Amino acid sequence: MANTMRKIVILHTDHPAEWTGPYGTFDELAIKLLQDTKPADSTHEYGYEVYDAYGGALPSLDYILSHEDYCGVLITGSRYDSFDTETRWIVELRKFVRRLLTATAAPPLVGICFGHQIAAHALGARVGRNPLGFEGGVSRVTLTALGRSLFHRESLDLSMLHTDAVFDTPQGTANWGASPLCAIQGLYTPGRLLTFQGHPEFPTELAQRGCEHKGHVTGAAAASSAGNDGFGAAADGIWALLEPPAERKISQ
């Protein structure tokens, strides 16, 4: 039987940046992550609908909720502040995310960096400048018991590029890991939400470029010798939310 088509919404929350160079824009990086790591035993084909959230474009949540072929929403990273209360597109995005996360039978949400912070803020958490400063390059995230069950290992090495942080774990969510510079590295709600303070879609070379762009040469140098689980265990965790293993083909 032919694989069925499903749709993933990508909310692009930035505009093109020169420093990402040949790696593409944040929405393109997110799509590449998903395309390159799609489970071999998947029972579906996937299409990607990109919305320019930075430009004020958001999908109709009512339409998404009324069509079963939508299986997920992903919010990209951004250079902007998730806690901004005056910029209209950020305020409207938080409202959309709040509705998505509280709606019945809504598709799950994946949040990356800014997307992680937007989701946390929408659920009532405090978000702001990290008093411990910039985290960039590749960081080792020590996993909680939940994180170990999600990613099937003791720690994750993930690309980072952020100066903001989430300070609370919203009700109904759980934190899955921490690094020395950031105590809440991601949030999880079964079947509904998985977020990353890091950038699983960034290959190590792009994490280095991000550090150099921010003027943190030390972080760029450290990244060059680090492993990276973005396209490995982290992506597997994302796909486990978007297409749970129980939906996939039984191996012959």
Q: What is the DSSP string of 81-112?
A: -TT-SS-HHHHHHHHHHHHHHHSTTPPPEEEE
CB contact set of 149 (below 8 Å; sequence gap of 6+): none
Residue 199 catalytic?
yes
Extract the tokens encoding 129: 């400048």
Distance CA 220, CA 66 (A): 45
* Catalytic pick among 199, 211, 216, 243: 199
- Point out the catalytic residue in the list 28, 116, 135, 201: 201
Q: Is 201 annotated in the active site?
A: yes
Greatest CA separation for the chain: 55
- Contact between 78 and 16 under an 8 Å Cβ cutoff? The reply is no
Exactly one of 12, 113, 162, 243 is catalytic; which is it?
Answer: 113
Provide the annotated active-site residues: 113, 199, 201
